[in-house]
A and B are shown apart, each in its own frame.
Chain A
Amino acid sequence: MTVQELPGAAAYRPTPPPAWKPLTDPAPLLPDPEPYRVLGTDAAADADPELMLRLYAELVRGRRYNVQATALTKQGRLAVYPSSTGQEACEIAAALVLEERDWLFPSYRDTLAAVARGLDPVEALTLLRGDRHTGYDPREHRIAPLCTPLATQLPHAVGLAHAARLKGDDVVALAMVGDGGTSEGDFHEALNFAAVWRAPVVFLVQNNGFAISVPLAKQTAAPSFAHKAVGYGMPGRLVDGNDAAAMHEVLGEAVARARRGEGPTLVEAVTYRMDAHTNADDATRYRTDSDVEVWRAHDPVTLLERELTGRGLLDEDRIEEAREAAERMAAALRERMNADPVLDPMDLFTHVYAERTGQLREQADGLRAELAAEQERHGEHGAEDGR
C-alpha cells in the first residue's frame, strides 16, 4: 500500500524540515588545486630581495646541517637522525615567519626548524644523541619538545595558543606534522578544536611523499591534505614546499591571519624527502633512484640559487660566502658533538615528580649504593676510565 492509498492520505501534508544552512561558506576555505609558487614566476619580482638572500643563506646552512648530522650518525655520535634534506625550505620558512613570542611545535623530523629559530644545535640534538629527552628549556625558546609520537603535539599547540589568547597575548603557535601523521586521531581532534575555538594556530603538513615506506596514495584518498581544512571550517593552502619564497609568503599570511584573531589555517607543503626516513632506513626497498632524480631537479637550494643568480642578486662570491658560513657551522657542530656528554645517573630520579615519592627515594638510595660499590671496585683495580 502506498501513501496515496492510505485512508485519509489526501489530508496528509508532511511538514517541511526546518531550514538548514551551513555554518560556514566552504568556497573561500578551499585551496587552489595547484601548489602556490613564487620562484620562476612573475611573483618573484615582488619578493623582497633581502628576505630572499636571507632565505638562501639559511637554506645553505640548513642543507649543511642535515648532511653533518647524518655524518654524525655514521661516527656513532648520534643515535639516529631523521634528515630533512629536500625539505629545508619548509623548515626554514616555519622558523622565520614566527616572532620571538610565538611558539613552534616541531615533530621529530624538525630539528632544523628549531635550529633555524635560534636553538643551539647541540641542545637540539640531545634527544637524537640519546643523553636527554629534551636538551633545552621549551619555555625559554618557545619551542615545544621535539615530538616522537605522531601528531600528539598538535592539540598541545592548540591548547597553548588558546591559553595565550585567553590571557590577552597575541601569540601564534605553528605546529608541524608529516603526511603520515595526518591519519592520526590527534590531527583530526586538534584541527577541530582549533577551528571551533578560533585558536591562533598554523598547521603545517610537510607532505614529503612517504611515511617511512608508505606512499601518499596509501595514506589518504583526499584530493590534498589542504582540502581537509574545509571540513573543519578553516582555510586550506597548498604550496610548493621546495619554494622557500612561496613557503615564507603562505606561512607568513597564515601567521598574520592567526594573529588578527581570524583563526587557524592548514598549510600543506608539497615536498620530497631526499634521504631515507632515518640513517637506519633502507629507502631502496620502497623507491628507486630515478624516483628521487625527478625531485633532485626541484631541489629547494638550487631553485632559489637559480632565481637569485638570474636576478643578479647572487654571484659566485656570495655563494661561496654562504657555503663557507655553513662550513664553519658544521665544523663547530662536529667539534662540540665529539665531546662525550657528562651524565649523572642520579638524575634519573630528579624530574619525575616535583618532590620524590617514598618509592623513588628508596630506589634512588639503591642506585646510589650501586654506584658507590661500582666506584670502589674500579678503585681497587686501579682502573680509571675517566668518568
Chain B
Amino acid sequence: MTTAAATTGARTAKAKPATMAQALGRALRDSMAEDPAVHVLGEDVGTLGGVFRITDGLAREFGDDRCTDTPLAEAGILGAAVGMAMYGLRPVVEMQFDAFAYPALEQLFSHVAKMRNRTRGAMPLPITVRIPYGGGIGGVEHHSDSSEAYYMATPGLHVVTPATVDDAYGLLRASIASDDPVVFLEPKRLYWSKADWSPDAPAEVEPIGRAVVRRPGRSATLITYGPSLPVCMEAAEAAVAEGWDLEVVDLRSLVPFDDATVAASVRRTGRAVVVHESTGFGGPGGEIAARITERCFHHLEAPVLRVAGFDIPYPPPMVERHHLPGVDRVLDAVARLQWEAEG
C-alpha cells in the first residue's frame, strides 16, 4: 500500500458543518489538483455532478477530459479505465448505484483485481471504483444492495468504506493515491451526515487498512463499518442503562483486514458482536467472526454473534426498516452475550 505522502495539515478553528458528500467531492478535487493523472469518469459525473453531486464542479474546474461523462455502460467504463491506467493515468470510476456495478464485475474480477498479478508486478492498476452502497434511503429495487462480500472475496482488490466525514475525505485521498485498485464503498445513507469541518484543512489522509476504536468500552465489542456505525454508537449509549460498557470498532477497511485492532479489542472485552446490513449467510460477518475465534478463543466468554440483514434480496423501501439491523437488534444480541447465565 502506498498512500499520499502529503497530509492536509491541522484543522483550523473555522470549522463549520460539512456533509460526507461534500468531503468526498473535496477529496476528488484535491486529488485532481495535486496529480494531473487523476481522471474521473462515469455516468452523469460531468454537467450534472453525479446523481449524488459528489463530482459537482469537477468538469467545470478541470474540463471534461478530466471529468468525463461516458456512454452508459459500466463494463465499458471500467474496461476503459483499465486501459487508461495501463497508460499511466489514475482513473476514478463512479458507479451510479451499488447494483449497477454488476455489469462491470467481469472487468473488476478478471482484470482490475488481477492485472498486477497477471503481469508479475509489471502493470499495477491504480484504479478507484467508487460505489454508493447500502439501504435506508427509500430506494426502489437495485438501489440498496450491500455487495461488499463479493469484493472482499476477490484477491487483488482493496475494499474500503468510510463511516465519518473525516474518513470519507481521508480514505478517498488514500485510495486514489494507492497503486492498487480500491473498491471504495460509500454508505449512501450517510452522504448527508455532517461534521464540523473546515474546507481549508479538511482532514488527514488516512492510510488504508487501519480499524479505529470509536468508543472505548470494557464489557463487549461491537465490530462494524460504514452505514452501521451510527447504529452501533447509538446502541452502545443505550446499553449503558443495562450495565453494558460497549466498545465500538469501526473497521473502515475490509481488505486489508485489521486483525490486530479487532483482536486486541475482543481480548480486552471477551465478547463480540459483528454488525452490518448485508446478508448474514456468506456475508462479511462470518469471515470476521471466524478470524476473531481463531485469534481470541481463550479470551471469549461467549460465541461471536452476528447482527446482519436478512438473507433476502434487498426488500422494497416500505419494509426495509424491518430488514436493516437497528439499535434494538444490536441490543438483543448484546443481551445474548450473557452466555453463562443462559446456560
CB pair B259 A185 closer than 8 Å: no
Contacts of B155 on A, CB cut-off 8 Å?
A: 352
CA distance A135 to B110 in the complex (A): 18
> With A137-B122, A139-B122, A351-B121 known to touch, is A152 a contact of B79 (CB < 8 Å)?
yes
- For residue B88, give the distance in angstroms from its CB to the closest CB of chain A: 7
Interface assignment of A87: CB less than 8 Å from any CB of chain B: no
Cβ of B180: which chain A residues have Cβ within 8 Å of it?
353-354
- When the two chains form their complex, are residues B256 and A159 in contact, meaning their CB atoms are under 8 A apart? no
Quick check: B119 and A357 within 8 Å, CB to CB? no
Distance between Cα atoms of A161 and B256 in the complex (Å): 33
Closest to A148 in B: B110
Q: Which residues of B contact A359 (CB under 8 A)?
A: 256-257, 259
* Residue contact B82 to A159, C-beta cutoff 8 Å: yes
Cα A70 to Cα B115 with chains together (Å): 28
A349 CB, nearest partner CB in chain B, Å = 10
Asked whether any CB of chain A lies closer than 8 Å to the CB of B120, the reply is yes
B 1-16 binary contact with A (CB < 8 Å = 1; else 0): 1100000000000000
Any B CB within 8 A of the CB of A189: yes
Rounded to whole Å, the gap between the CB of A245 and the closest CB of chain B is: 31
A152 x B107 contact (CB < 8 A): yes
Q: Is A354's CB under 8 angstroms from B179's CB? A: yes
Residues of B within 8 A of A137 (CB): 119, 122-123
Please classify how large the interface on chain B is, using the bins under 10, 10 to 19, 20 to 34, 35 or more: 35 or more
* B111 CB-CB contact with A under 8 Å: yes
Q: Is the CB of A352 within 8 A of B87?
A: no
A108 to B91, CA, bound (A): 27
- In the bound complex, how far is the Cα of B79 from the Cα of A269, in angstroms? 25
**A162/B84 in contact, CB under 8 A:** yes
- The yes or no answer to A251 lying at the interface (CB within 8 A) is no
The contact of A189 among B73, B82, B89, B110, by CB within 8 Å, is B73
CB atoms of B119 and A185 under 8 A apart: no
Closest A-chain residue to B124, C-beta based? A354
Q: Mark A355-368, 1 if CB is under 8 A from B, else 0.
A: 10111000000000
Would you call A155 an interface residue if the criterion is a C-beta within 8 Å of the partner chain's C-beta atoms?
Answer: yes
| Chain A, Cβ-Cβ closest to B256 | A357
Closest A residue by C-beta to B85: A159
B117 touching A155, Cβ below 8 Å: no
With A358-B256, A358-B259 in contact, is A189–B86 under 8 Å at CB? no
Interface residues of B in 217-236 (CB under 8 A from A): none
Instruction: Please measure, in the bound complex, the distance between the C-alpha atom of A164 and the C-alpha atom of B256, giving whole angstroms.
Output: 33
B27 within 8 A of A: no
B84 touches A189 (CB 8 A): no
Q: Is the interface of A mostly helix, strand, loop or mixed?
A: helix
Instruction: Judge whether B75 and A133 touch: CB under 8 Å.
Output: no
Selected from B1, B80, B107, the residue in CB contact (under 8 A) with A353 is B1
Residues in A neighbouring B91, C-beta threshold 8 A: 159
Q: With A190-B76, A358-B257, A358-B260 given, is the CB distance from A155 to B119 under 8 Å?
A: no
Contact A163–B83 (Cβ < 8 Å): yes
B255 interface residue (CB < 8 Å to A): yes
Give residues of chain A (318-376) contacting chain B, Cβ–Cβ below 8 Å: 347, 350-355, 357-359
Does any Cβ of B come within 8 Å of A196's Cβ?
yes
Within 8 A of B (CB), among A164-204: 164, 166-167, 173, 185-186, 188-190, 192-193, 196
Cross-chain contact B65 with A149 (CB below 8 angstroms):
no
Q: CB-nearest residue of chain A relative to B259? A: A358
User: Is A77 interfacial (CB-CB < 8 Å)?
Assistant: no
Verify if A226 is at the interface (C-beta below 8 Å from B): no
Q: How far apart sit A354 and B122, CA to CA, in the bound complex (Å)?
A: 11
Contacts of A354 in B (CB 8 A): 1-2, 116, 124, 178-180
Q: Can you name 25 A-B pairs with beta carbons within 8 Å?
A: A138-B122, A149-B110, A155-B76, A157-B83, A158-B79, A158-B80, A159-B79, A159-B80, A160-B83, A160-B86, A160-B87, A163-B86, A164-B87, A185-B75, A186-B107, A192-B71, A351-B116, A351-B117, A352-B156, A353-B158, A354-B116, A357-B209, A358-B256, A358-B259, A358-B260
Closest 5 CB pairs of A and B: A159-B83, A155-B79, A189-B76, A159-B80, A160-B83
* A positions within 8 Å CB-CB of B: 132-134, 137-140, 144-145, 149, 152, 154-164, 166-167, 173, 185-186, 188-190, 192-193, 196, 347, 350-355, 357-359
Given A156-B86, A159-B83, A185-B75, 20 additional A-B pairs, CB 8 A: A133-B119, A137-B119, A137-B122, A155-B83, A156-B79, A159-B80, A159-B82, A159-B86, A161-B83, A163-B87, A185-B73, A189-B75, A192-B73, A347-B120, A351-B116, A352-B116, A353-B1, A353-B116, A354-B2, A359-B259
